[in-house]
Amino acid sequence: MNVLITGGAGFIGSNFVKYLSNKYPHYRITNLDALTYAGNLENLKSIDTLPNYTFVKGNILDSSLVDQLCGQGIDIVLNFAAESHVDRSIEDPQLFIKTNVLGTQVLLDSAKKHNLRKFVQISTDEVYGSLGPTGLFTEKTPLAPNSPYSASKAGGDLLVRSYHETFGMNVNITRCSNNYGPYQFPEKLIPLMILRTLTDQPLPIYGDGLNVRDWLYVEDHCSAIDLVMHQGISGEVYNIGGNNEKTNLEIVRSILQELNKPESLINFVQDRPGHDRRYGIDATKIRTELGWKPKHHFEAGIQATIQWYLENRTWWERIQSGAYRQSTDLQVGDI
């Protein structure tokens, strides 16, 4: 199996590249990543010399590069590449439309042209919008994105759907809840709060802190994508979630407790515009149809994550200092 993974130097993509390479050492993996601020080759140190792994620095918007890669015997594309931070999407929506919508279209066109076996779009529960205090998102919930980020992801998803309906392409879309775990960029809630707690800095929480997210350990997301790429039914969407809803305040309190720091560090700040109140995932379909089951309970997962950040100080210090930004020459290897 020859697999093209886009965005494989980011948080979930790098966890997935390593997961796949460990589980299927005979697979050839090509990782195409533009190395934006969120991409970090230091996430991939443990596999970067393996013979079946090739890193290519490049943009999914570069259709000739994407075409060159897809034309070299790729079987399946997994699209993780995205601009992924909601706050940044409020500052610069256009960048999000370029990467998350147009980039997806470039990949789809190339996958179609080269008649690839499958295309998997890694998406998010945020495309469904916000829930009230009850109910869960199913795959049939109408899309109602509220931020430029989620709107751009919904745009990408709809293009993927259309290439299935119009051109008969074999596609899947996964929509996962919030991930946490090792290698998450420290702008996101959990690593941000861990690092600020460690250095006794105030912990900014939007609004009243009662916005609810369903948290899933990143390795459980990887195992779900593994099932979808191998067994997903063509054209189907699969929701992925941990049945583990927490308010932002609960998340921050659990970090404070683990690190033995006072609640006085909590600092409520003005809410984000368009801030979704609650996400909750019904993952019945992937559980019953593909037999997926998450392995990690939140309490153990958050402890492991905090421990990881404690043990990998150099990794995040190099992000904070900017030293992790390094250029890599384009390598189009023997795919």
Closest CB to ligand NAD: residue number: 10
**Is 261 or 318 the residue whose CB approaches ligand NAD more closely?**
318
CA distance linking residue 189 with residue 176, whole number of Å: 16
**Is 10 or 242 the residue whose CB approaches ligand NAD more closely?**
10
In single-letter form, the type of residue at position 106 comes to V
Catalytic residue status for 183:
no
User: Which three-class secondary structure state does DSSP give residue 283?
Assistant: coil
Q: Which residues bind ligand NAD (CB under 6 A)?
A: 6-7, 9-13, 33-36, 38-39, 59-61, 80-84, 99, 103, 122, 124, 153, 176, 178-179, 185
Q: How far is the CB of 317 from ligand NAD (least distance, A)?
A: 18
Residues 6+ apart with CB under 8 A from 248: 189, 205, 206, 209, 210, 211, 213
Given 19, 149, 180, 238, which residue is catalytic? 149
CA distance linking residue 69 with residue 104, whole number of Å: 15
Output the furthest CA–CA distance in the chain (Å, rounded): 57
Q: How far is the CB of 248 from ligand NAD (least distance, A)?
A: 14
Q: How far is the CB of 66 from ligand NAD (least distance, A)?
A: 9
Q: How far is the CB of 193 from ligand NAD (least distance, A)?
A: 15
CA distance linking residue 177 with residue 196, whole number of Å: 24
- The strand pairing partners of 173, in sequence order, are 121, 237
**Is 99 or 146 the residue whose CB approaches ligand NAD more closely?**
99
Given 33, 83, 125, 214, which residue is catalytic? 125
**Which residue intervals of the chain are DSSP H helices?**
11-23, 63-70, 86-91, 93-96, 103-113, 148-167, 189-198, 218-231, 248-258, 284-290, 298-311, 313-321
Catalytic residue status for 324:
no
**Is 124 or 244 the residue whose CB approaches ligand NAD more closely?**
124
**Is 260 or 327 the residue whose CB approaches ligand NAD more closely?**
327
Q: How far is the CB of 58 from ligand NAD (least distance, A)?
A: 7
Catalytic residue status for 126:
yes
Containing 57, the helix (H) or strand (E) segment is: strand 53-57
Q: Active-site residues: which are they?
A: 125-126, 149
